[in-house]
Structure formats: C-alpha cells, structure tokens
Structure 1
Amino acid sequence: MMFRTTDMVMIGLMVAAAAFTYKTKHEAENQFDLLAKTESQIRYEEDTISILKADWSLLTQPARLQRLTESYADDLKLGTVEPEQIVTPDAIPQRPPEVPDPNIDTIAEMLKRIDKTSTGAIKP
C-alpha cells in the first residue's frame, strides 16, 4: 500500500499541529509557573509590609518615645517647643553642605551610628 502525496501532506500537517500544540502547552505552563512565582513574591512582600507596619507602630508608641526621651534627656537636651520657635521654612537658614573627609571610611562611620533598638521582629 503506497502513500499518496495528499496522505503525506496530511501526515505532515498533523505532525506540525501536534508540535504546535505541544509548544503552546509548554509555553502556557511556563507562564503559569511564572505567574505562581510572582504571586508568591507578592504575598511575601505583603507579609513583609505587615511586619514593618507592626514594627513601626511598636517603635512610635507614645509611651516608648516618652521613655526614650527621658532616658536620653541629658544627651538630647530637648525642651518644650515655644510658639515663637515655630517659623515658616523660608525663615530657616540653609545649612552649608558637608564635604566628607576623604580619609574617613564613611560606610564604617554610618554603621557605627545604626540604632541598636530591638523591635518585635528582630532579636539582638
């Protein structure tokens, strides 16, 4: 039994259709995996935001701030704000730009100034 030209063309079309279907299915699965990974990253970021909001509310509690103010009163030398101290931004003099000393490792200096206050999410 011999195959005719039309039979060969039809077999070729069926193979091409099967290959196209496989390729399309494979690309769809890859896109689905990418979507699942992106949704997972979004959930992780939302959880992180929730934790940071909780930390922020903990750090900005008035009782905690009052305690810190009292603890560091000598260092901070804070006083009550008098009404005549409140001015418009135009009345504040411009601070001259600070030129860093090239002999000082600024990153090391910044690391020394990091606040070591422990929050609910970070253990010292």
Structure 2
Amino acid sequence: MLRTLDILLIVIMTAVATITYTIKHRAEEKLGEVRKLEANIRLEKDTIDLLRADWALLTQPARLERLIALYQEELKLQPTDTTQMVQPAELPMLKADLPPVEEADAKDGKKKADDKTAAGKKPKTDDIKTGSVAR
C-alpha cells in the first residue's frame, strides 16, 4: 500500500509541477506582450511630440509671411475684411433649433402649422437675417 501511495504522490507532484510551469510560461508571454505595448506607446508619444514640434515650425508667423511674399502673385491673398466676420449670435439657427413644421395635437389628433407652412411654403434661407451682409 505504501508503494501505491508513493506512486500516487509522484503523479500528483508531476501534475502540479506541470501546471506551475504552464502558468509561469503564460505569465512570461503576457509580460513580453506588455513590454511590446509599452514600447509601441512610447514610440507613438515620441512621434506625437515630433509632429507637434514640426507643426510649430511650419506655422511660425515669420515663415508664413515669407511664403506669402514669395507666392503672392499665385495666391493673390488679401486681408480679411471686417464685414466678412460674424459673431456666433448672427449665425442662422441649426435645424435642430428650428420649430417643427407640423405638430400633432395629442388631445384631438389635429395638426397645427405655422403661417408659412400653412400655405404649403417652407421657410427660405433668404428670410434668415444674419446682420453681417449688407442687402
């Protein structure tokens, strides 16, 4: 009986050692994946920093002025007129802010309409006043 118990314990120890080795191997693989991901993240951050520095060099006002002077005849750039600029309050409403064309009355099922839509006309964009363009 002692002999079978020894054999059984050896089998159990072998199984536990195999499971332990498998877990260790998987953990090492995951650690390698984490290191690769960290290296990729570091590379992306360095690339972003390099691109930001490049953007800062490309958008320097002195450089842009030189380019404007160099290509003035091809580009024909002019300063922006103050009448071309609008304030956010002067912009037309978004479609989501417009009142609905028809609203169903929940009580009696009748439909209501605006004055312009009652005659079958939709509001025109020319009717929207922005205040920035002289008419």
Same fold (TM over 0.5): yes
Task: Identify unmatched segments of 5+ residues in structure 2.
Answer: 93-135
Higher share of residues assigned strand: 2
Q: Tell me the TM-score normalised to structure 2 length.
A: 0.61
- Map 1:1-124; keep pairs closer than 5 Å: 4-87=3-86, 90=92
How well do the aligned residues superpose, as a CA RMSD in angstroms? Answer: 1.7
Aligned residues: 89
Task: Identify unmatched segments of 5+ residues in structure 1.
Answer: 91-124
Structure 1 consecutive aligned stretches of length 4 or more whose deviation exceeds 6 Å: none
Higher relative contact order (CA 8 A, sep 6+): 1
Superposed CA offset, 1:34-93 (max 9, x none): 111111111111111111011000000000011111111111111111111124665xxx
Q: Distance in 2 between matches of 1:8 and 1:89?
A: 87
Residue number in structure 1 paired with 2:120? none
Q: Distance in 2 between matches of 1:68 and 1:3?
A: 94
Q: Distance in 1 between matches of 2:63 and 2:2?
A: 88
Query: Residue 5 of structure 1: CA displacement?
Result: 2.1
Residue number in structure 2 paired with 1:111? none
Identity of counterpart residues, as a percentage?
Answer: 47
